[in-house]
Chain A
Amino acid sequence: MTALLVDVFLVSMMVVIAILVLYTRRLFAAIVLTGAYSLISAAMFVNLDAVDVAFTEAAVGAGISTVLLLAAMARLPAEEKKGTSLIIAPLAVCLIAGVLLIVAVMALPPFGDPTSVVHQHVAPRYLIESDVKLHIPNVVTTVLASYRGFDTLGETIVVFAAGLGVFLLLSTGRRKKNDGKGDKDEK
């Protein structure tokens, strides 16, 4: 019961922050509010016993993303461009996606139900084996690094590719220097 009350409190805080983000006209305030939003969702993950997810959310969502958004904000002009007045199409997309998500949520099994399908396949084996056979108490780590090692390798490569992409897009300095040298050699 207490957990449910805390959840309701946290979710209503998140709704309030989301509305504030939409209504504030200052980018700095909006970015700091998204950081607060991430921190509250991290608290919610702790309440749902997903400590690893909460850890990542607090570090990435509240920490690094806020810093990166602030760094990006410093490059933006202070004046906002006048937007187009046609908002019907985006509104329709948002509403349809929202309705579909709510319908999908209603089809999910109840939260924490041990008899639901996803908990019947390989999860029982992982839960037993990780502690007894491999002596690794944190099942999240065993699943992430060993049972699902291929997925995590893919994730690591995605992180690497994302870093490479940002580096190639934003680092204009070195290319310019090389172009200058090339020109001199040609002449």
Chain B
Amino acid sequence: MKNNPLFRVTTKVLFAPIILYGLYVQFHGDFGPGGGFQAGVIIAAAFILYGIVFGLSEVKSVAPPGVVQAFTAIGVLLYSGVGVVNVMLGGNFLDYNTLSYDAAHGQHYGILLVELGVGVTVTSVMMSLYYAFAGYKGEAGGAGN
């Protein structure tokens, strides 16, 4: 599909707006529909579109598989890390009220960080699923069919 100008130009034009929209869904989840799960899938979709049009090796040079796999764990660590910080500040696990001077602000910070953790994990898991499926070489690990 790399040689088709229609696909190439469309992907190049759409790539940044898709990620921007994903970030909007991520950080606007408090006020409108959306949140980490949806935003993660949208951002991953941008990279997968890039991979489908320009090839797996191109998207792997943009987002190396090792970095993507590290981010799957970083998201979970960010989420549970918020809970651990809450415990250190004297509250219960995932009790966001302790994060700021009053409960409402604490909840805002907590929800923002936790949703960011969800978004990071979902984005990177979706991308590594795509890498695993698209790069699968068959049982023997040889040249495949």
Q: Which residue numbers of A lie inside 8 Å of B, CB to CB?
A: 51-52, 54-56, 59-60, 63-64, 67-68, 71-72, 75, 77, 133-138, 140-142, 144-146, 149-150, 152-153, 155-157, 159-160, 162-164, 166-167, 169-173, 175-176
Q: Which of A71, A77, A134, A152 contacts B134 (CB 8 A)?
A: A71
Contacts of A67 in B (CB 8 A): 48, 52, 130
Closest 10 CB pairs of A and B: A163-B125, A71-B133, A172-B141, A51-B33, A59-B41, A170-B132, A149-B94, A145-B111, A55-B38, A176-B141
Contacts of A145 in B (CB 8 A): 35, 110-111, 114-115, 118
- Apart from A146-B110, A149-B83, 13 more pairs, CB < 8 Å: A59-B42, A59-B45, A64-B41, A67-B48, A67-B52, A75-B138, A134-B107, A146-B111, A156-B79, A159-B122, A163-B128, A171-B135, A172-B137
Q: How far is the CA of A10 from the CA of B51 in the complex (A)?
A: 33
When the two chains form their complex, are residues A56 and B37 in contact, meaning their CB atoms are under 8 A apart? yes
Main DSSP-derived SS at the B contact region: helix
When the two chains form their complex, are residues B133 and A163 in contact, meaning their CB atoms are under 8 A apart? no
B76 at the interface (CB under 8 A from A): yes
Count of CB-CB pairs between chains A and B under 8 Å: 147
Contacts of A59 in B (CB 8 A): 38, 41-42, 45
Main DSSP-derived SS at the A contact region: helix
When the two chains form their complex, are residues B33 and A52 in contact, meaning their CB atoms are under 8 A apart? yes
Residues of B within 8 Å of A, CB-based: how many? Answer: 57
Q: How far is the CA of A59 from the CA of B41 in the complex (A)?
A: 6
When the two chains form their complex, are residues A167 and B132 in contact, meaning their CB atoms are under 8 A apart? yes
Q: Mark B106-128, 1 if CB is under 8 A from A, else 0.
A: 01101100110110011011101
Contacts of B41 in A (CB 8 A): 56, 59-60, 63-64
Contacts of B145 in A (CB 8 A): 75, 77
When the two chains form their complex, are residues B107 and A156 in contact, meaning their CB atoms are under 8 A apart? no
Shortest beta-carbon distance from A16 to chain B in Å: 27
Q: List 29 A-B contacts (CB under 8 A).
A: A52-B34, A56-B38, A56-B41, A59-B41, A59-B42, A63-B45, A67-B130, A75-B144, A75-B145, A77-B145, A135-B104, A135-B108, A137-B31, A140-B35, A145-B114, A146-B96, A146-B111, A152-B118, A153-B80, A155-B37, A156-B76, A156-B121, A157-B76, A163-B124, A163-B125, A167-B132, A171-B132, A172-B140, A173-B141
Contacts of A170 in B (CB 8 A): 132-133, 136
Given the known interface contacts A52-B33, A146-B96, A172-B141, the answer about A133 and B103 at a Cβ–Cβ threshold of 8 Å is: yes
B32 at the interface (CB under 8 A from A): yes
Q: How far is the CA of A62 from the CA of B51 in the complex (A)?
A: 18
Q: How far is the CA of A169 from the CA of B129 in the complex (A)?
A: 11
